[in-house]
Amino acid sequence: MQQITLNTLKKMKKDGEKIAVLTCYDSTFSKISNQAGIDALLVGDTLGMVLQGNDSTLPVMIEHMAYHTACVKKGNNQAFIISDLPFMTYSFPEQALKNAGVLMQAGAHMVKLEGDIWLCETITRLTENGVPVCAHIGLTPQAVNVLGGFKVQGRTEEQAKQLLESAKKLEESGAAMLLLECVPSNLAEKITKAVDIPVIGIGAGAETDAQVLVLHDMLGLNEKTAKFVRNFMEGQSSVQDAIKAYVLAVKDGSFPSEKNQYIY
């Protein structure tokens, strides 16, 4: 198996090949996801909700992320591993450097952080120090208390313009990937076309370069899920088959369908 790198993902964007990403928190699911052909695994701070049972990602610590990143790495033989910097671990560049180092040494190929153009200086410093960065914009769950809930972002013309500008500035500052969460599909399409770096979407329509879902959601383990989730376990007899079905649906463009999108 050939390791998927940032260059592989950039080439996939250029060639118009869709990228399938899934969250992952342990070595068993990492192995199964690799066998199912996943391109990238996100060790997301959603582990604070789906593994730890919290009602937000805020209680997650850098130690938790390092532990789960190391677990995922052990089951991995091909996928690109992205690991989340948790809440309050990248408030200024020096702090981000120290904590990103912990995740990279645990096995991440890239770190993800949530925010806007206030992160540009941090992204440049991380990149200069050998840490590729994915910038997460739109609905940023670590800011749930500022946003007033888990709500679709970029619905007004002004907000949409601001998100598009942010995406360009984050790319200029060195971000090697973007993640767009819960934004209208037409805005996600505009942003994806406006930048050269791969754009991962969740609740952002079908036109982003990549799709990501939370593992527990797509396996139908959560009773209440957002409209952008599809239960891929339905009609399958194994977890590996469900993940294979997800990879196939992302690659052939059948996921997300219109009913999984926010259209304004």
CA distance 111 to 132: 7
Among residues 47 and 249, whose Cβ is nearest to ligand KIV?
Answer: 47
CA distance 117 to 74: 34
The helices-and-strands tally (H runs, E runs) of the chain is 11, 8
Among residues 214 and 219, whose Cβ is nearest to ligand KIV?
Answer: 214
Residue 233 Cα distances to 6, 179, 213, angstroms: 29, 25, 13
Chain contacts with ligand KIV (rule: CB under 6 A)? 23, 42, 44-46, 84, 179, 181, 202, 212, 214
Residue whose C-beta lies closest to ligand KIV? 44
157 assigned to active site: no
Q: Minimum Å distance from CB 199 to ligand KIV? A: 12
Q: Minimum Å distance from CB 237 to ligand KIV? A: 26
Residue 45 Cα distances to 8, 53, 61, 70, angstroms: 25, 12, 9, 14
Q: Which of 212, 215, 221, 165 is nearest to 190 (CA)?
A: 165
Among residues 20 and 42, whose Cβ is nearest to ligand KIV?
Answer: 42
Among residues 188 and 212, whose Cβ is nearest to ligand KIV?
Answer: 212
CB atoms within 10 A of CB 64: 19
Q: Minimum Å distance from CB 219 to ligand KIV? A: 14
Task: Please pick, among 181, 207, 223, 234, the residue that the annotation labels catalytic.
Answer: 181
What is the sign of the dihedral through the CA atoms of 122, 128, 134 and 135?
positive
Residue pair 81/38 in contact by the 8 Å Cβ criterion: no
Q: Minimum Å distance from CB 255 to ligand KIV? A: 15
Active site residues: 181
